[in-house]
């Protein structure tokens, strides 16, 4: 191990570096290279099981995954590092120097709903390429699907109230904060507090004020007045620094002063205490001051469960700032997403590891709707099958390493989500009740081929007859 100073100014993180991968991807690639095993391989990326309380998944992250595949390469520094490991032959390093992704990609578009075992994405590429991109592809898609799915649950629980992403301080890295803002926007959030996400994705940005703002003034009411002076058209007072009800009364006083000058106090924010009863008392104080247009925003440990609970208890809350628990998907901070070889050099393959048996071959997902336009069931078929009456979900996105479609805007993706979500039967939208899983059938052809292949593999590898 080369010793280097613990100097972060040397740490230049590049999301396009092909070193965003596990060592084993490169040692396997080196063996393939040496053996000239670089025929076309199909890998399928899917989720193996439902995390607690989940009954569907929201596709998200594809634009980033595609961008990664278009731009992945080994920089001079990356190659020098690999050489320094003294594990790889010079001709393999020369190959890596020219490494680009040249494969085909099919995927379920962002914003669409999908289910367990359905491939979110399939890659067909020379084996070495498809292997090296594995780790980053899972990393990118896993995170955004997980967050979009979590956000959609908050969207369901909020019953039309506005949701704002407040999670940046607790996301797992600053980069993660960007993708949380994007994925939650897709799945029903109105915007984010994250300014860099606002800049990079064109998302609406929102904000209020912090407790430190209040306490940096000698008195709370001075802090309110100072803020209203500068931002009279977008003021939301944080009212719980010392006492929420006392704070609400001061906010109402400044709200009346603002009204006298022709301005509307946009809102107040509650950040602690018993939200249902406090919000009703604060609503009364505001209404009695003639501030019925002033909204109540609540923040503090909200997620789908707490949103549902306070609304069930009659909270007078118009908008939620949703932070930590959405931004880390706290009740399910990882999904069981896998990226598995299903075909190599024209030969279908699978693994038989206990509980992790894979389905061989490239695939398509077909969705069937009932007469009211709601999802009825899906069929998982071999890629080349045609299943009459079904809507095929995987679309060709890249061919020979180039993007072949024009990617939808974030607004379009958001509409896709809303349309799909409105077609999902209500029983799958419960945030805390157990329901039988959505029906995903295997096509008869897929089932037949799978049974045949399992028998063949067991015979070949385990000597069974």
36: contact with its own copies by CB under 8 A: no
- One of 306, 325, 363, 383 touching its own copies (CB under 8 A): 325
- One of 85, 396, 405, 435 touching its own copies (CB under 8 A): 85
Picking from 120, 107, 164, the residue whose alpha carbon sits closest to that of residue 146 is 120
User: Which of these segments, 100-108, 223-231, 308-316, 380-388, binds its own copies (CB under 8 A)?
Assistant: 223-231
465: contact with its own copies by CB under 8 A: no
- One of 49, 83, 94, 202 touching its own copies (CB under 8 A): 202
Rounded CA gap, 250 and 262, in Å? 18
Rounded CA gap, 90 and 69, in Å? 25
Binding mask 350-389 for its own copies (x = CB under 8 A): xxxxxxx---------------------------------
User: Which of these segments, 255-263, 340-348, 421-429, 436-444, binds its own copies (CB under 8 A)?
Assistant: 340-348
- Half-sphere exposure in the Cβ direction for 149 (13 Å, CA): 31
134: contact with its own copies by CB under 8 A: yes
User: Which of these segments, 94-102, 220-228, 424-432, 436-444, binds its own copies (CB under 8 A)?
Assistant: 220-228
- Cα angle vertex 463, ends 458, 465, to 5°? 75
Phi and psi, residue 401, nearest 5°: 85, 0
129: contact with its own copies by CB under 8 A: no
Which of the residues 405 through 424 are near its own copies (CB under 8 A)? 407-413
152: contact with its own copies by CB under 8 A: no
| Min dist. Cβ of residue 20 to its own copies (A) | 5
| Min dist. Cβ of residue 267 to its own copies (A) | 13
By CB neighbour count within 10 A (0-12 exposed, 13-18 middle, 19+ buried), where does 229 fall? exposed
The angle, 0 to 180 degrees and rounded to 10, between the axes of the packed helices 134-157 and 174-186 is: 50
For the chain, the C-alpha Rg in angstroms (whole number) is 26
Which of the residues 418 through 457 are near its own copies (CB under 8 A)? 457
At which residue do the structure tokens 């995987």 appear? 394
23: contact with its own copies by CB under 8 A: yes
- Half-sphere exposure in the Cβ direction for 444 (13 Å, CA): 1
| Min dist. Cβ of residue 229 to its own copies (A) | 8
Contact 150/332 with Cβ under 8 angstroms? yes
CA distances to 43, 78, 350 from 456, rounded to whole Å, are 21, 42, 11
220: contact with its own copies by CB under 8 A: yes
What is the residue-wise DSSP string for 229-294? HH-TTS-EEE--SS-HHHHHHHHHHHHHHHHHTT----EEEE-SS-HHHHHHHHHHHHHHTT-TT-
Which of the residues 38 through 67 are near its own copies (CB under 8 A)? 41, 43, 63-64, 66-67
Q: Which is nearer to its own copies, 149 or 438 (CB)?
A: 149
90: contact with its own copies by CB under 8 A: no
- One of 210, 396, 405, 435 touching its own copies (CB under 8 A): 210
Q: Is 341 helix (H, G, I), strand (E, B) or coil?
A: strand
183: contact with its own copies by CB under 8 A: no
Rounded CA gap, 164 and 295, in Å? 14
| Min dist. Cβ of residue 295 to its own copies (A) | 16
Q: Which is nearer to its own copies, 229 or 287 (CB)?
A: 229
241: contact with its own copies by CB under 8 A: yes
172: contact with its own copies by CB under 8 A: yes
- One of 83, 91, 242, 293 touching its own copies (CB under 8 A): 242
8: contact with its own copies by CB under 8 A: yes
**170, two tokens:** 């607790």
């Amino acid at each position: 191990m080369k010793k280097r100073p613990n100097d972060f100014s040397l740490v230049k993180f590049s999301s396009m570096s092909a070193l965003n991968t596990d060592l084993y991807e490169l040692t396997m690639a080196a063996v393939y290279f040496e053996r000239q095993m670089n025929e076309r391989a199909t890998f399928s990326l899917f989720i193996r099981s439902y995390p607690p309380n989940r009954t569907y998944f929201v596709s998200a992250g594809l634009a980033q995954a595609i961008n990664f595949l278009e731009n992945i390469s080994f920089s001079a520094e990356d190659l020098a590092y690999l050489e320094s490991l003294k594990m790889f032959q010079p001709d393999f390093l020369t190959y890596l120097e020219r490494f680009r992704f040249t494969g085909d990609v099919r995927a379920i578009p962002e914003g669409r709903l999908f289910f367990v075992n359905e491939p979110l994405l399939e890659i067909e590429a020379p084996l070495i390429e498809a292997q090296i991109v594995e780790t980053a592809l899972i990393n990118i898609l896993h995170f955004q699907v997980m967050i979009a799915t979590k956000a959609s649950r908050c969207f369901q629980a909020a019953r039309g109230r506005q949701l704002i992403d407040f999670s940046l301080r607790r996301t797992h890295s600053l980069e993660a904060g960007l993708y949380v803002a994007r994925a939650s926007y897709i799945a029903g959030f109105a915007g984010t507090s994250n300014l860099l996400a606002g800049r990079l994705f064109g998302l609406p940005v929102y904000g209020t004020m912090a407790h430190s703002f209040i306490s940096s003034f000698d008195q709370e009411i001075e802090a309110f007045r100072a803020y209203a002076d500068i931002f009279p058209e977008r003021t939301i007072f944080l009212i719980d620094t010392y006492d929420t009800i006392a704070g609400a009364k001061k906010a109402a006083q400044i709200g009346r002063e603002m009204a006298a000058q022709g301005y509307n106090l946009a809102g107040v924010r509650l950040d602690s205490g018993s939200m249902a009863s406090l919000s009703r008392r604060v609503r009364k104080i505001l209404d009695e001051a003639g501030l019925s247009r002033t909204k109540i925003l609540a923040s503090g440990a909200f997620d789908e469960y707490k949103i549902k609970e306070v609304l069930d208890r009659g909270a007078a809350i118009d908008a939620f700032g949703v932070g930590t628990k959405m931004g880390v998907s706290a009740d399910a901070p990882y999904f069981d997403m896998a990226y598995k070889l299903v075909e190599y050099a024209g030969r279908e393959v699978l693994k038989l590891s206990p509980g992790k048996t894979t389905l061989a071959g490239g695939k398509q997902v077909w969705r069937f709707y009932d007469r009211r336009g709601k999802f009825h069931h899906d069929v998982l078929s071999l890629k080349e099958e045609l299943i009459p009456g079904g809507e095929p979900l995987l679309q060709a996105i890249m061919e020979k390493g180039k993007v072949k479609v024009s990617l939808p805007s974030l607004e379009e993706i958001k509409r896709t989500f809303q349309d799909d979500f409105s077609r999902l039967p209500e029983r799958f939208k419960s945030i805390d009740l157990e329901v039988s899983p959505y029906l995903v059938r295997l096509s008869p052809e897929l089932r037949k081929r799978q049974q045949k292949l399992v028998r063949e593999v067991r015979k070949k590898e385990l000597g069974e007859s």
